[in-house]
A and B are shown apart, each in its own frame.
Chain A
Amino acid sequence: MLLHNTYIYIFIMAAVIYLIRVLPLTLIRRDIKSPLIRSFLYYVPYVTLSVMTFPAILTTSDHPIAGLVALIVGVIAAYFRRSLIQVASLCCLSVFIVELFF
């Protein structure tokens, strides 16, 4: 399985992430000037995390309603600025409780 070696996958992930994090600290000693690139990078996490969350959250359980409830509960909890661990726990709990009805 030379083409799909898990350790090479892990290395690529780590290397790319590290380069992104370390290059600005070492090579680039000035701010990014382009407003377009700055704005683009500003929006990237929101789009990426949204795309990864929905509709994938609906497939968490065999019953999409469980994921939907978790999504709604999670959005409400996050809206009221609950901590990372609280929002995550509430989503887990939502799925668990809804699943009990099936």
Chain B
Amino acid sequence: MKDKSQNRNWFQKGIQNGIPIALGYFAVSFTLGIAAKNAGLNAFQAALASFTSLASAGEFAGFTLIAALATYAELALTTFIINARYFLMSCAISQKLEKNLPFFHRLLVGFFMTDEIFGLSVSTPGMLNPYYTYGMAAVAAPAWTLGTMLGVLLGNILPARVVIALSAGLYGMFLAIIVPPARSNRVIAGVIVCSMTASYIFTYAPVLAGIATGTRIIILTIAISLFAAIVFPVKES
């Protein structure tokens, strides 16, 4: 690190930009906590899972599999498939880190690489100061963890109507991630429609409905993503 005061500035800027992320995380992780509770996790376990994983869709799928008493291999494979996108994100970030950046910074930046923190980290001009990422994480990660814990605890106290309504929030979050890029990219729009249609068929069609949720996610993700990748390869910028 070149300059300590520079690090502090980036950390403060990270906290500032991390606040809107934290607010969103708090609401969404509350519904994730409800999902965790439904899967049989207690508040501590849910908070632990959220703090150590920091992944919305990944955790949601994980809780679904835990509820289904999936095997460890199923959980590992599903987690791998669902979170594979982080691999590309980290690849992009690796190009933005100083070549001589100490190893422990790489280990730490990787831990906090959520979709939103990635989005802000990758859009900084020039090289990324890891303290910017840490600043965002300093507010976003506790919000995510606390929200999950409160979701488990208050999921019980809140009226059933409210809990049911809140559990729709996670789907809203997913829509907020997948829909905007579909505006200007017809392939993504087509992929979304195909995926939802196929998922519907796999959920209700005879025989296919017998396939477990986790397996369905893996099969459809690999099949449709591979098909799209072959037919509509992404043009490099």
Report which A residues bind B (CB closer than 8 A): 3-4, 6-14, 16-18, 20-26, 28-29, 31-32, 35-57, 60-61, 67, 70-71, 74-75, 77-79, 81-96, 99
Nearest residue (CB) in B for A73 is: B172
B231: shortest Cβ distance to chain A, in Å?
A: 10
Docked complex Cα distance between A4 and B40 (Å): 12
Cross-chain contact of B52 among A14, A25, A43, A85 (Cβ < 8 A): A14
A29-B94, A41-B84, A43-B228 known; A99+B161 contact, CB < 8 A: yes
Contact A74 B224 (CB under 8 A): no
Residue in B55, B88, B169, B195 whose beta carbon sits within 8 Å of that of A38 in the complex: B88
- Looking at chain B, what size class is its interface with the partner chain? 35 or more
B66 contacts the other chain (Cβ, under 8 Å)?
yes
Tell whether, in the assembled complex, residue B176 and residue A42 are in contact, meaning their CB atoms are under 8 Å apart: no
Whether B169 and A88, one on each chain, are in contact in the complex, defined by CB atoms closer than 8 angstroms, is: yes
Interface centre among B69, B88, B181 (most CB of A within 10 A): B88
A57 pairs with B171, CB closer than 8 A: yes
7 contacting pairs across A/B (C-beta < 8 A)? A6-B41, A20-B83, A23-B87, A53-B178, A74-B175, A77-B176, A84-B28
Which 9 A-B pairs rank lowest in CB-CB distance, beginning with the nearest? A91-B172, A22-B110, A78-B179, A50-B195, A14-B52, A39-B229, A96-B165, A24-B90, A88-B172
State the CA gap A79–B198 with chains docked (Å): 22
A contact face: mostly helix, strand, loop, or mixed: helix
Cβ proximity bits B183-199 to A, threshold 8 Å, 1 near / 0 not: 10000100110011011
Cα of A70 to Cα of B171 in the assembled complex, Å: 9
Contacts of B207 in A (CB 8 A): none
Residues of B within 8 A of A35 (CB): 233-234, 236
**What's the least CB distance linking B145 to chain A, in Å?**
12
Q: Enumerate chain B interface residues (CB-CB to A < 8 A).
A: 20, 23-24, 27-28, 31, 40-41, 45, 48-49, 52-55, 57-62, 65-66, 69, 71-72, 75-76, 79-91, 93-95, 97, 103, 106-107, 109-111, 113, 116, 161-162, 164-183, 188, 191-192, 195-196, 198-200, 203-204, 216-217, 220-221, 224-226, 228-230, 232-234, 236
**Chain B residue at smallest Cβ distance from A79:** B179
Query: In this complex, what residue of A is CB-closest to B200?
Result: A55
B54 surroundings in chain A (CB, below 8 A): 17
Partner of B45, one of A7, A23, A75, A87: A7
Contact of A47 among B59, B97, B221 (CB under 8 A): B221
Chain B residue, CB-CB nearest to A91: B172
Q: How distant is B4 from chain A, measured CB to nearest CB, in Å? A: 23
**Docked complex Cα distance between A84 and B25 (Å):** 9
